[in-house]
């Protein structure tokens, strides 16, 4: 099955700095890679996703890059703000029985200090 590794587990930055979270996956058949943000006590919410036919995607202060050869993808947040503080999960979609079940990383706790 798919295995997704996510690093770091905790990331502490100063407001205005950039933050980078990295994930690797094992199943070369995976072709959809969403990122979710989960604030304390709340539901995971999709913030950006990328498909394997694209190498990079950007949405305002967040961007995701994908390297299919190396099987890794990264989330980049620029000009971080305190409200960016949350747990971020990467995922890789894995074909199982004809449907595509995402496998999640263990999460990165991002802390942005004002």
At 53, list the tokens.
């036919």
Q: Which is nearer to other proteins, 84 or 107 (CB)?
A: 107
CB distance 89 to 36 below 8 Å: yes
Q: Does 105 bind other proteins (CB under 8 A)?
A: yes
Question: Which residues, 6+ apart, have CB-to-CB distance to 63 below 8 Å?
Answer: 48, 56, 57, 75, 76, 78
Q: Which is nearer to other proteins, 32 or 78 (CB)?
A: 32
For residue 96, the minimal CB distance to other proteins (Å) is 5
Q: Residue numbers of the site for other proteins (CB under 8 A)?
A: 6, 31-32, 34, 36, 42-46, 49, 51, 89, 93, 95-107
């Amino acid at each position: 099955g798919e295995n997704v590794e996510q690093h770091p587990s905790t990331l502490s930055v100063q407001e205005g700095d950039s933050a980078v979270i990295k994930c690797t996956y094992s199943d070369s058949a995976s072709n959809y890679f969403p990122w979710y943000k989960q604030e304390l006590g709340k539901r995971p919410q999709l913030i950006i996703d990328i498909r394997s036919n694209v190498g990079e995607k950007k949405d305002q202060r967040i961007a995701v890059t994908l390297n299919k050869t190396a099987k890794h993808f990264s989330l980049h947040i620029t000009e971080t703000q305190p409200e960016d503080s949350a747990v971020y999960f990467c995922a890789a979609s894995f074909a199982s029985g004809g449907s595509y079940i995402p496998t999640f990383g263990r999460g990165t706790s991002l802390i942005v200090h004002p």
